Chains A and B, each alone.
Chain A
Amino acid sequence: MNITASLGTSAPHLPPLHSSPPLRPNGTESFAIEIQNVKFSVKTKQKKLVHILEDCSIQIPSGQFWMLLGPNGCGKSTLLKILAGLLSPTDGFMYVKKPKSFVFQNPDHQVVMPTVEADVAFGLGKYRFTPEQIRCRVAKALDAVGMYEYLRRPVQTLSGGQKQRVAIAGALAEECKVLLLDELTTFLDETDQIGVIKAVKKSLASSDDVTALWVTHRLEELEYADGAVYMEDGRVIMHGDASTIMEFIEDRKNSYIRKINA
């Protein structure tokens, strides 16, 4: 059964928006990502206005690993692209700490250079670093995702999971404050899926004050997150700690199963 798809069918009975996101361990309320009432609409060829996102509000504390969950087509990737600056919101307030990096769903779109080392260093081209500084950053980023031994490997010889980790290393090399990760595990098998999540967790642990927002529709990935945001039909339904979101989704799932069996 497709859990996310089934959840999407019971949208009218929604609990109130969770308004108490977990704070950082040190107790301060510094948010790496904060959006208030963000809306996003597009016009079709027939001049019809289609609302993709409506009144989305989230606050993600610094230094945490959060997940953005929801059924297909609920606007997760659109919200992430707005946060990355690839799309402009129609209305609302938005704040994202800089520098920020975005990692695409398909690693073949993210990895632009023929060799691992040159690709990880590609994002650093906009800065005036010396070759030695670039070498250090590339080595550090590849080490964080467990890919240092693949430094000079041609990209086409890597597996999907390895390419995805190279893409993450490219984002980490820029020493960004916010990592925006769009469904990285879609094309991966279970082993690579866990490998990529652990690589992100490891890199967050080794860096100071880096926040990651991970878009997914796989519930089993929620156990690795510090917090989560649940979306449906272009709206943020709930956001809070991972266990609360998990309980909420489990309740929805059980009520749906009861409804079917009744």
Chain B
Amino acid sequence: MLYSCGVVYTLPTVTSSCRQFHTPLFKKHPIQLLPLKTLKPKFTCSASIDDAGPPRNWEKWLPKNLFSAEKVLKSISEATSSPICQFISSPITFLHTVDPRIKLAWLVVLVVLPARSHILMRFGLVAYLSLLSILILPRHVWMDQLGRVSLLSGILFIMLGLGADGAPPVVQLRTPPPSMMGLPSLPASLEGYSYIIMKLGPLQLTRKGLSVASTSASLTFSIFQSASLCLSTTTPEQLAFALQWYMRPLAYIGVPVAEVILTLLLSLRFINLVFDEVRVVALGIVSRRIYWEKFTALETIEVFFTYIRRIFNNIFSHAEQISQAMNVRGFRGDSNTHNIYFSSLSSNSMANILSIMCLVCLVGAAAVSDCFV
């Protein structure tokens, strides 16, 4: 192995007055002498196994600019301005005609059930939600939604299933073995019971792992997919109406229900403006074609702070204008005296009855399955 070290004075052009030394040591890296005022010394060190060629440029294999300011802003500016899971007004499906209050009840049940029911029930719920999504939503919507949610749930299932019993004993329940407590050892199962279901190298899928994984994955799937289904088939105003109906008793204990509902509706409208503002200001910065490589880290951070400040300024300006518009349109600051018209979309009584019956059946089935856990 040959180690070489040299001093190279680099300049774009070399004048004819330069003298070059060709010594055996510096044969490959000759020293060029140039006027000292114009030279900047640059030290280069290299190592090679043999002296067959120039040192290999291994740096090019290293990933660069994985997280650059330009990439971040560009990805923001190219993002869609519409939030995910917005209301799909047509075609009008069975779920569109179900009363929003029943849909909210379904949502609550679908959040609670996966945690409190048998494993078969959990997987049944996942299958039911998937089937409903496929039947109700347009093809490109359900493919996108189910793809994302299944991926997330799948990752959770694998990680928790294989890792649940890999957690250190400190965080696990410490129950002394029966022999220490003077109890007889548990008899071996006659029915072929085994705590470990599957072994995969150092990892193992146990009954506890399966239970934790199935609960978490199906809970995640149920929450995301039921919310997606509900938002895709219910307008924000209908949801607000349902929430107001459930919250109405709270008004007797002084909860400002009307104000909460109006704030919710304004937030649902305003969130799009915020998305738009974030996107447009990022586009404004990207279109300036800033040469980010010239910036120091502090300067880049400064640009980002300017970006955030600008977003907030614009959002506050929007808020001021919207409040002025509300004033012009007759809102005098009292949510109780200003009626909000929620929607003219009437629910179908048959669809409502069917939904309630299915809900009752589901809760009943879950209660029965709970006995088998």
Contacts and interface: CB of A to CB of B under 8 A. Distances in A.
A binds B: yes
Given A152-B345, A156-B272, A113 B87 contact: no
Interface stretch (A36-44, A117-125, A241-249): A117-125
Main secondary structure on A side of the interface with B:
helix
Nearest to B90: A152
Interface stretch (B31-39, B66-74, B122-130, B325-333): B325-333
Nearest to B96: A152
Given A115-B236, A156-B86, A135 B344 contact: yes
A151 B235 CA distance: 11
B340 interface: yes
Given A114-B268, A156-B81, A157-B82, A170 B329 contact: yes
B266 A112 contact: yes
B165 interface: no
A26 to B, nearest CB: 31
A44 B203 CA distance: 74
Contact of A126 (B89, B236, B322, B332): B332
Interface in A148-172: 151-157, 170
A109 interface: yes
B269 A106 contact: no
A138 B344 CA distance: 10
A235 to B, nearest CB: 26
Interface in A95-127: 101-102, 104, 106, 108-115, 117-118, 121-126
A134 B341 contact: yes
A94 interface: no
Interface in B127-164: none
Main secondary structure on B side of the interface with A:
loop
Nearest to A131: B341
A109 B315 CA distance: 11
Contact of A125 (B86, B273, B340): B340
Nearest to A105: B321
A84 B328 CA distance: 8
B328 A102 contact: yes
Contact of A118 (B86, B89, B237, B318): B237
Interface centre among A102, A106, A112, A153 (most CB of B within 10 A): A112
A152 B89 CA distance: 6
A170 B322 CA distance: 14
Interface centre among A86, A106, A123, A152 (most CB of B within 10 A): A152
A110 B341 contact: no
A114 B325 contact: no
Nearest to B264: A114
Interface centre among B82, B332, B339 (most CB of A within 10 A): B339
Contacts of B65: none
Interface centre among B237, B273, B344 (most CB of A within 10 A): B344
B339 A125 contact: yes
Contacts of B321: 104, 106, 109
B344 to A, nearest CB: 5
Interface string B70-93: 000000000001110011010000
Contacts of A153: 89
A182 to B, nearest CB: 11
Nearest to B329: A123
Contact of A113 (B81, B89, B265, B324): B265
Contacts of B237: 113-115, 117-118
B342 interface: yes
Nearest to B268: A114
8 contacts: A104-B324, A117-B343, A118-B340, A118-B341, A131-B341, A152-B235, A154-B86, A156-B81
Interface of A: 84, 86, 101-102, 104, 106, 108-115, 117-118, 121-126, 128, 131, 134-135, 138, 151-157, 170, 174
- 5 nearest CB pairs, A to B: A121-B341, A126-B330, A109-B321, A156-B272, A114-B236
